[in-house]
Structure 1
Amino acid sequence: MTQQTITLIGGGLVGALLAQLLAKRGFAVEVFEKRSDPRRAGFVGGRSINLALAERGLQALRTAGLADDVLQRAVMMRGRMVHPVDGVSGLQRYGVDDSEVIWSVSRGGLNMLLLDAAEAAGVTFHFDQSLAAADLDARRITLTDDHGTQRQHHASVLIGADGAGSALRAAMNDYLPLGQRIEPLGHGYKELEIPPASGAERFAIEPHALHIWPRGGYMCIALPNTEGSFTVTLFLPAHGPHPSFDTLPDAAAASAFFREDFPDLLPQIPRFAEDYDEHPVGSLSTLYLDRWHIDGRALLIGDAAHAIVPFHGQGMNCGFEDTVVLADLLAESGRDTADAFAEFQRIRKPNADAIAAMALENYIEMRDSVADPRYLAKRELGARLAARAPQHFMARYRMVTFTHLPYAYAYERGRAQDVLLDQLLRSSNKADDVSLDAAVTTLQATLPPLPPLRHG
């Protein structure tokens, strides 16, 4: 039997990893990417410079044999370092200890590593090739290079890993409506930078944390980079009354705002004016589709199918988890791609919808709740319940970030646990006021045990 050929649109993180996994399973894979090869042209930004890698993404990289290589280029983050306007900064751990951490990774560096691995597995990449049209009946696509030269390519099986602005999704939607809904967050972002420190200490602030300056309705965050810098991201309403990007049109206005609201952060950003004026305001939206595929001919994966806002650090991790599920299904299905695509959507869509909802909720938590006494009391009581009755209680963040429990399960279980915590704390905002023995008894009577947990 001849080797089945799969055509991928998009050679970013998800596309490159999927290509490698498919090639390792015996498929012939061709990838068309609209950008130039970042290994030769240099990585061009435009989206977040670094990303949070968690257990789901790590497991996919283990499947590809790449986890160790990636972790050598990553910075460990133990938790959220919260910087209130008044008061002392404090670390809120993500997990129980250093076995439960997330990792800050460079988008560009990771993309280049994945491209190398895919090529080594036999994948063929075509760069500077934009999808101009897709004739799904003829199973043929039209591609255009930077000079406007067009070429035709036969594509019996098409997979779109070309991101939130997917050209393949647009072509599929023209052919058969996908039930597309795009919900803007109404908030935008702008990236700034804390440079490396001089002297023996490479990092100007604590390196092993994701820093948050929560301000209720808006915030700054900072993620460490391996060379000692931090990528700082300001999240603000896009429009409306102060503060918003409308009311902070330039560095002069923004500097005054930062002096007032982020006084400890501004001195750490020496190129504040240049960064603010040169970097564009990015937009944030959630993408929902009713269907991700057209029979066995075309399928969407990763952000092309389910782009989410970045506040749970799970967009890449969810996309990487997609790739393992899809590669396994295609390997098992032989040439019946229609069944594999339908099963992929059946398995992954409820989980994509769940992480989309949790990412939106996490934005509110990060910008508003991390300094709220009620939130802190529930967090403390939850940690005590998890320590005393780990078979019955695990914080939702830990389920999402450090296990392979389906996102949909973590979402529903998290809601049930939150209701329980509210009941236990109904007359107090202090975890110390709750009898832990009585709380454990109530927990075990109210919720079934957690499923067996799979860690990496």
Structure 2
Amino acid sequence: MMSGRDRKRIAVIGGGPVGSLQACFLAKKGFQVDIFESREDIRKAEEVKGRSMNLALSVRGTTALKHVEVEEKVVSEGVRMDARRIHTPDGKLYSIPYGKNGQYLVSLDRRKLNETILTAAEKLDVGLHFNHKISRFDLETGEMMFQGPDGQEVTAKADLIFGCDGAFSTVRRQMMRSIRFDYSQTYIPHGYMELTIPPKNGEFAMDVNFLHIWPRNEYMMIALPNADKSFTCNLFMPFDMFESLKTEEDIMKFWHENYADSIPLIGEENIKQTLLNTEALSMISIECSPYHHENTCVIMGDAAHAMLPFYGQGMNCGFEDCIIFNELMDKYKDDFSLVLPEYTQIRSPDAKAICDLSMYNYLEMRASVNSSWFLFRKKVDNLLHWLMPGRFIPLYTMVTFSRIRYHVVIKKWQRQDKLINSALFAMMGASTLGVSYLAARKAAFYLNGHLSLHDLTVALTGAMDFFSKSLGN
């Protein structure tokens, strides 16, 4: 811990999950930390305004929470999801596991998560200043001006300012005006709307421990379980489709054609009223650089890299920002002048990579899961991962169940994908990889559940040797 005279003052702008978590990291290192949040204290609010889309916690997020000793509490308040549960238009169901046994996501309520981390920050003597909206600040001196609870101006000063104030960050906007700053934003033509599946007779109305998906190519609906035994649903589709559903008849015709099995779960009246009286919300992807200004200001989370929600990595990536920054603080003994530029250098390529992957996963979730080839490839990927866990790792596993850097994930995935596609086509065409046509047939029989794993393993030994050597080069 630092001595009193050495304690530098840190201001965290934004008391959301990433801001409050970063405050915990800094307080544990002995800094004097204050959070300034424009909203009221959500722990006391009857209703929290804003987006309420559920969050899916995975390894990058749990690792960060473990550092500040709140992982167990957060996970206990969520619901485990082991697989995707796909709902077809004709009402059939099938599942796609996220990974091997023991690999799962945790569905979290955003508000509960935020409350837990804020309370942890408070226990670490972090100053919490709610209803403080930042109006301006000086990048050079660290002097800040806020509009306080009663509209009065409040001033403060910090040695280092963290902008954790979301996709429409005031801190980032100030940096854009003051330094050479690259910035791009993309709104996709799809919006989303939230619905709820309430409990049925006090229990979950659908199978729990799944992320339920109704993929319909150009649009989709998902449902995540909540601790109160409800499901939070999100309908994603192009804005022009939302706008075309103008009457109750339009809405129910569309629903019967696409999501018929959900009607008794959500309720016809709730569907009609939600679609008629709720405005679809937009989704934005933001990339920018640098993430810092000299040794006085740095941005994290959505302020630095807002992404589409379809890989469930927005929160996890933001939490990992906190780990990376903390590791650099240890490396450079808390020297901000060294930490901040390296943080930008390390995190920028990874943020761009996960923003790109988030768009890719939207295409996968709404359309690819309907493809027989996609399902076949999933089985092949899982088989190869089982046979060569150190050399072949499926894309989703690398992103969600590891801390491999995101930009490295893309490179490894592209290389693996090229090799596997080439090998599969070669095997199907009588194989130039030392595996006979009979082995390819056996692989197909195994993947359709008609052959033992032992027999398949024997048949594919030659192919595995080839893959292993190729992946090792």
TM above 0.5, yes or no, is yes
* 1:383 maps onto 2:382 in alignment: yes
Q: Match for residue 247 of structure 1?
A: 244
1:284-363 superposed matches below 5 A: 284-334=283-333, 336-363=335-362
Q: TM-score, normalised by structure 2?
A: 0.89
**Within 5 Å, which residues of 2 pair with 1:372-411?**
372-411=371-410
Greater relative contact order (Cα < 8 A, sep 6+): 1
When residues 62 and 215 of structure 1 are mapped into structure 2, their CA distance, relative to the original with a 3 A threshold, is same
- Residue equivalent to 1:216: 217
Q: Does 1:70 align with 2:74?
A: yes
Deviations along 1:252-287, one digit per CA (max 9) or x if unpaired, are 533321111111112211222233344431111211
Show CA shifts across 1:123-178 (max 9, x none).
00110111111222332111113543222211231110011111111111111242
Counterpart-to-counterpart distance in 2, 1:96 and 1:46: 35
Q: Tell me how far apart the structure 2 counterparts of residues 265 and 302 of structure 1 sit (CA, whole Å).
A: 34
Q: CA deviation at 1:384?
A: 1.2
User: Which piece of structure 1 moves more, 308-317 or 348-357?
Assistant: 348-357
Which piece of structure 1 moves more, 145-154 or 408-417?
145-154
Deviation of 1:67 (Å): 0.8
- Asked if structure 2 preserves the Cα contact closer than 8 Å seen for 1:4 and 1:335, the reply is no
Residue aligning to 1:85? 89
**Superposed displacement of residue 220, structure 1:** 0.4
Report whether the alignment pairs 1:266 with 2:263. Answer: yes
Query: How many Å apart are 1:251 and its aligned residue?
Result: 5.4
Cα distance change of structure 1 residues 226 and 250 upon mapping to structure 2, 3 Å threshold: farther
Which stretch has the larger CA shift, 365-374 or 329-338? Answer: 329-338
Greater shift in the superposed pair: 343-352 or 29-38? 343-352
Give, in angstroms, the shift of residue 313 of structure 1: 0.6
Show the counterpart of 1:454.
none
SS in 2 for 1:447: helix
Task: Give secondary structure in 2 for the equivalent of 1:264.
Answer: helix
Q: Which residue of 2 aligns with 1:444?
A: 468
Matched ranges for 1:129-140 at <5 A? 129-140=132-143
Q: Secondary structure at the match of 1:40?
A: coil
Tell whether the 8 Å contact from 2:91 to 2:261 is kept in structure 1 after alignment: no
Distance 1:293 1:160 in 2: 10
Q: Alpha-carbon deviations, 1:291-324, whole Å to 9, x = none?
A: 1111111110011000110111111011001112
Counterpart amino acid of residue 336 in structure 1: D
Give CA-to-partner distance per residue, 1:208-238, whole Å, 9 cap, x none: 0000000011100000001110000011012
Q: Secondary structure of the residue that 1:110 maps to in structure 2? A: helix
User: Does 1:118 pair with 2:117?
Assistant: no
Equivalent-residue separation in structure 1 for 2:26 and 2:413 (angstroms) = 34
Whether the 8 Å CA contact 2:289–2:344 is kept in 1: the answer is no
Q: Which amino acid aligns with 1:170?
A: R
TM-score when normalising by structure 1: 0.92
Distance 1:205 1:191 in 2: 17
Deviations 1:369-409 (A, max 9, x none): 11201111111111111111212211110111111221122
Q: Deviations for 1:28-49, whole angstroms, at most 9, x for unmatched residues?
A: 1011001100011235142134
Instruction: Give the C-alpha shift of residue 113 in structure 1.
Output: 0.5
CA contact (8 A) 1:43 1:108 kept: no
- Number of residue pairs matched by the alignment: 442
Residue 11 of structure 2 corresponds to residue 7 of structure 1: yes
Residue 308 of structure 1: SS of its match in structure 2?
A: coil
Q: 1:162-218: CA deviations, max 9, x gaps?
A: 11111111111111242110011221111111001115xx10001100000000111
> Contact (CA 8 Å) 1:80, 1:209: kept in 2 or not?
yes
Which ranges of structure 1 fall in alignment gaps of 5 or more residues?
A: 450-456
Task: Quote the residue 1:141 is aligned against.
Answer: 144
Deviation at 1:325, TM superposition (A): 1.5
Partner deviation per Cα, 1:100-142 (whole Å, 9 max, x = no partner): 0000011000100000000000100110111111222332111
> Could you list the runs of 5+ residues in structure 2 that have no partner in the other structure?
429-439, 448-458
1-side partners of 2:30 and 2:389: how far apart?
42
Q: Provide the rounded CA distance (Å) in 2 between the counterparts of 1:128 and 1:106.
A: 22
For residue 453 of structure 1, what is the aligned residue in structure 2?
Answer: none
Q: Closer, same or farther in 2 for the Cα pair 1:370/1:45, shift >3 Å? A: farther
Partners of 1:342 and 1:286 in 2: CA distance: 23
Q: Greater Rg, structure 1 or structure 2?
A: 2
Secondary structure of 1:311's aligned partner: helix
Q: Is the 8 A contact 2:8 2:159 kept in 1?
A: no
Q: Distance in 2 between matches of 1:72 and 1:188?
A: 31
1:142-157 matches, within 5 Å, as: 142-145=145-148, 147-157=150-160
Match of 1:194 among 160, 178, 197: 197
Q: Identity of paired residues, percent?
A: 35
SS of aligned partner of 2:171: helix
User: Is residue 100 of structure 2 the alignment partner of residue 96 of structure 1?
Assistant: yes
Name the aligned partner's letter for residue 416 of structure 1.
Answer: R
Tell me the distance in 2 between the aligned counterparts of 1:105 and 1:114: 13
| Aligned equivalents of 2:399, 2:343: Cα separation in 1 | 20
User: Take 1:276 and 1:299, find their aligned partners in 2: how far apart are those partners?
Assistant: 40
Aligned partner of 2:157: which letter?
H
Q: Quick one: distance in 1 between partners of 2:50 and 2:246?
A: 19
> For the structure 1 residues 410 and 171, does the alpha-carbon distance in structure 2 shift closer, same or farther, using more than 3 Å as the test?
same
Q: Which residue of 1 aligns with 2:435?
A: none
Give yes or no for contact 2:54–2:224 (8 Å, CA) kept in 1: yes
Q: Distance in 1 between matches of 2:73 and 2:278?
A: 31
Amino acid at match of 2:55: L
> Would the aligned equivalents of 1:193 and 1:275 in 2 still touch at CA under 8 Å?
no
* RMSD (CA atoms): 1.9
SS in 2 for 1:86: coil
* Structure 1 residue 426, shift from structure 2 partner: 2.4
What secondary structure does 1:323 align onto? helix
